[in-house]
Amino acid sequence: MKRIILLIALFAVAPWHMAAQDTVKSHTITIGNSELGTFHENLFPKKAPSRWSVGLQLGMADNHYDIDVQYADKVLFKGAKGFTIGLQGRSHLTGWLAARADLMLVQKNYIRSHTAKPSGNTVVQVRNAIRNNYISLPLMAEVSIGNRLRFYLDGGGYVGFWLSSHCEGESLSMDFLLYDENEGARFDEYYTFDKRRDNRFDAGWVYGAGVAGTLAGKITLNAEWRQYYAITDTQKQYMLFQMPRYHTTNVLQVGAAYHF
């Protein structure tokens, strides 16, 4: 247990310790006659490559809409894929720590379907595809190891705004209800928000992991996985016995940044 604690403490203080030891290339830690391991200073760069970096990033978003339908067992909500695109920015505080702020357009899509049996023995599956566009501002701390090839973890919170929503699919038309048609009326339209019901403010936690490589000194390419975990309901409290609804969105994205 003492060795584990010491290793954790060493990992935390290693960047400052190595920055002060310019002539030492590696560090061997021992307790008594036992050697814990050797830590090389190129894992923790002594200084950041530059003070600031900005760039673009884009990728694929896979969203899941979490809702407890309870007694409405004929209604199903299924995740759907979309895209994400935006700006990334970093302030490099040390060689291993950076503050990060992004401005992203993130699609949080899902599919809603339910079965209907208006008369006779006809059972019809009614399916709606909903495409939601959100502006998100993640604010994160990023820690990394490596030099020209860096592995990093980041985490923090985000705030956002529900920009627009588009719906496509079938609805239960009067012909369907009265004459037992095999499908509902088709529609393809933008959704009109209801300020009494729709909560367009979005906020939650964001965290991820990635790898970045430096090219030509000033250019960095990166690839990362990220998850947006919403803690705000997509609906306001407008009725009794209302079930909360939350988005959880996984993102795979690549980007490029320029260092100043």
Largest CA distance in the chain: 88
Tokens 């290793």 correspond to 7
SS (H, E, C) 8-69: HHHHHHHHHHHHHCCCCCEEEEEECCEEEEEEEHHHCCCCCCCCEEEEEEEEEEEEEEEECC
pTM of the model as a whole: 0.76
Domain boundaries, the chain: 1-44, 45-259
The SS3 of residue 249 is strand
**From CA 151, how far away is CA 147, in angstroms rounded?**
9
- 85 pLDDT more than 80: yes
Which pLDDT does position 216 carry in this prediction? 77
Long-range contacts of 184-191, Cβ-Cβ distance < 8 Å, separation of 24 or more: 184/116, 184/124, 184/126, 190/164, 190/165, 190/166, 191/130, 191/164, 191/165, 191/166, 191/167
Facing residues of 58 across strands? Answer: 85, 254
| Segment among 57-61, 181-185, 225-229 with least mean pLDDT | 181-185
Its CATH architecture, for the domain 45-259, is Beta Barrel (2.40)
Closest CA to 101 of 92, 114, 88: 88
**From CA 102, how far away is CA 45, in angstroms rounded?**
24
Which pLDDT does position 237 carry in this prediction? 84
- 195 pLDDT more than 70: yes
In a 13 Å sphere around the CA of 112, the CA atoms on its Cβ side amount to: 16
pLDDT top residue among 110 and 67: 110
Instruction: Please state the rounded mean pLDDT for residues 228-233.
Output: 96
Burial of 23 (0-12, 13-18, 19+ CB in 10 A): exposed
Which pLDDT does position 142 carry in this prediction? 97
Which pLDDT does position 3 carry in this prediction? 42
Percentage of residues in the chain having pLDDT higher than 90: 55
Tokens 């002060």 correspond to 20
Confidence of residue 163 (pLDDT cuts 50, 70, 90): very high
Which pLDDT does position 170 carry in this prediction? 79
Confidence of residue 193 (pLDDT cuts 50, 70, 90): very high
Confidence of residue 99 (pLDDT cuts 50, 70, 90): very high
- 104 pLDDT more than 70: yes
